Amino acid sequence: METDKVTLEDKGPVALVRLSNGVTNAIGPDLVAALSGILGRVKASHGGMVLAGGNKFFSIGLDIPNLLPLDRSGMRDFWYAFDGVILDLFTLPVPTACAVRRHAVAGGTILALACDWRFAAPGRTLMGLNEIRLGLPVPYLAHLMLRQIAGDRNAAKLLFLGDLVDSETAHAMGLVDGIYPEGDVETVAVQKITQMTLYPKAGFSAIKENRVERVKEHFETHREAKTKQLLDLWFSPSAQRLLEEAAQKF
């Protein structure tokens, strides 16, 4: 199955889902809608999933130039949709892996965090959450996932400093599970998930439900207040100025 923004390729029982929104795979409303639809198909018909990106970027993050013109209501709608697709990926009842061959920045890192496994290419394959440099909080669901995966101390370093780190540093911090040659990353990810599909599906689904439920419940309890907080800061004069500057780099 293919859309303008996301493609799905069958790899036996595993769905290889590829972001295909131009060179940067910037995340906007159309990509979120396409990914949401494909996740529904994966849940219904596949035993596992690998999420992949392009040759230069896994994803550059949010499509800031196209999100900036949205008013508060439009941005709120986008944010609920984005959080929704991240939560769907995080709670998908089949094993998932993210194959990061090239940079996964901000929203790209958030997509990677939502998968069960993360495999990356060596060298300057950059990951990180740089929202603080735009005067914004890291989205609350991503904040919770990061703390669960990397631990509180490493999460604090990534959240407070906003640094983009190379894959070796990400691996040392627990953000990445393995580093492989760029040409092998997707193959390794597919092999890992294929192996996991051999386990009884009901057992895996129950184990995963137990793993994600605390994050899911905490996020849903505070979702409205945290979304308001993010939107208040997004539309603040200082953040708008920094976002305008960031948009010039796209």
- pLDDT, block means (10 residues), the chain with 250 residues: 81 96 94 96 96 94 96 98 98 97 95 98 93 96 97 96 95 96 96 96 96 97 97 98 93
Residue 210 included in any domain: no
11 beta partners: 14
**Total count of domains within the chain:** 1
- Closest to 139 (Cα-Cα) out of 72, 215, 83, 58: 83
Q: 156 lies in which domain range?
A: 6-196
In a domain, 220, yes or no: no
CATH code (residue 112): 3.90.226.10
In a domain, 231, yes or no: no
CA distance 117 to 213: 17
User: Is residue 208 in some structural domain?
Assistant: no
Q: Decide if 51 is inside a domain.
A: yes
pLDDT at 124: 84
User: What's residue 133's pLDDT?
Assistant: 95
Q: What pLDDT is stored for residue 3 in this prediction?
A: 65
Domain membership flag for residue 235: no
What pLDDT score was predicted for residue 1?
45
Give the model's pLDDT for residue 84: 97
Q: Looking at the domain assignment, is residue 29 inside a domain? A: yes
User: What count of other Cβ atoms lies within 10 Å of the Cβ of residue 25?
Assistant: 27
Please state the pTM of the whole predicted model: 0.96
Looking at the domain assignment, is residue 33 inside a domain? yes
